[in-house]
Amino acid sequence: MDLQDALVVIRSGAYLSIAADESLLRRLPPGNWLAGSIPYFMAQHGGQTSRQQLFVTELPNLAGSAQLRWYDRSNLHKVALDAPAHGLTVLIVPAFSEVHSHFAREAPNFEDLYLKPLVGWIAGVHLDDLGKASPVVVNGQSLTFCSDRALAVHIPLPEDIHPHIEILNLFRPGGGDVIRFPSTGFSAQECYINGELNNLALYLTAKGIDTRLPLVADYSGAMVNVSFKSVDMVAGQVDFYAPVFDDIEYRIAEPVSNYAQAFVRTLSDSASGASWSCNCILNYLYGGLEGQRTGPITGPMTFGEIAYQLLNQTMVYVHLQKFQ
């Protein structure tokens, strides 16, 4: 929506999740909202890039007031403990920050993490502004902007309403080599290819690997991607958008021929009633999603997705199930 429409919704008092370019976020009045910077969206009529519009999602307010709470490295491990006993938490984290790195590495070990529904996304910037502007997260109640803290909204829900989190990953492990890493981190030089020590940058280059395809691994039954950020042949180093772990086997993903059609084919029937969603900027870029739709799902195209832990090149959405 445009700025004037967003002002009307904010002034209604509704609890909102907002995504927009930082310049627009700085024009918003106080209200019950949290936001992250990003100018890429899957809008009603298809994928688009805009510094003049905002993506506004109204959050459920069915069982008492939601609570906004800041997190840094010192208290991020409490994000699930702080969540209501029955509810939903939406977390926005600024990309490239210490709290981003800490969440990516440590979230799977946070107490109660997989017992409380948690979704969210990584705030970013226009790709033209990389290295010139920092992603920001905003608390609308105080109009506080931060590039080094994460912000969560903890939303209580009635006992008969259950948030169901869907992770839609188009990628599956290919039939190629098994890759393991000697240590956990956002970058790697050495790795084990089918058990033999190799330099990953040399391997990717020699094999002609398309690094638009992520590494894929089975994390306790869920297919999770690690996307390539850069390959530096001079330094012999590969950087990733999410950490690789030292106890996981990875393979290069199988190619996806048509992203938009693949999303539509893979979506479940519940997608039409989604209450909240985000998708990955890499899907937007590599899949040529500008002007294309991903079924009924709309939302920001982000620098990372959160469904309990950090994800890459996935779509995450939530639908609220009512039980009689």
Within 13 Å of residue 76, how many CA atoms lie on the same side as its CB?
A: 23
> Which residue did the predictor score with more confidence, 284 or 220?
284
- Residue 257 binned pLDDT confidence (cut-offs 50, 70, 90): confident
Condensed to tens digits (0 to 9), the pLDDT of residues 58-90 reads: 999 888 889 999 999 999 999 999 999 999 999
Give the pTM. Answer: 0.94
154 and 82 in contact (C-beta within 8 Å)? yes
Least confident of 32-36, 90-94, 175-179, 266-270: 266-270
50 and 33 in contact (C-beta within 8 Å)? no
Query: pLDDT at position 222, please?
Result: 80
- Residue 266 binned pLDDT confidence (cut-offs 50, 70, 90): confident
**One-letter amino acid of 304:** G
216 and 253 in contact (C-beta within 8 Å)? yes
Query: pLDDT at position 221, please?
Result: 76
**Helices and strands: H and E segment counts in the chain:** 6, 26
27 and 11 in contact (C-beta within 8 Å)? no
Q: Give the helix/strand (H/E) hosting 283.
A: helix 281-286
- Residue 324 binned pLDDT confidence (cut-offs 50, 70, 90): low
130 and 40 in contact (C-beta within 8 Å)? no
157 and 314 in contact (C-beta within 8 Å)? no
Token pair of 247, please?
A: 């106890």
What is the CA angle 130-288-187, rounded to 5?
45
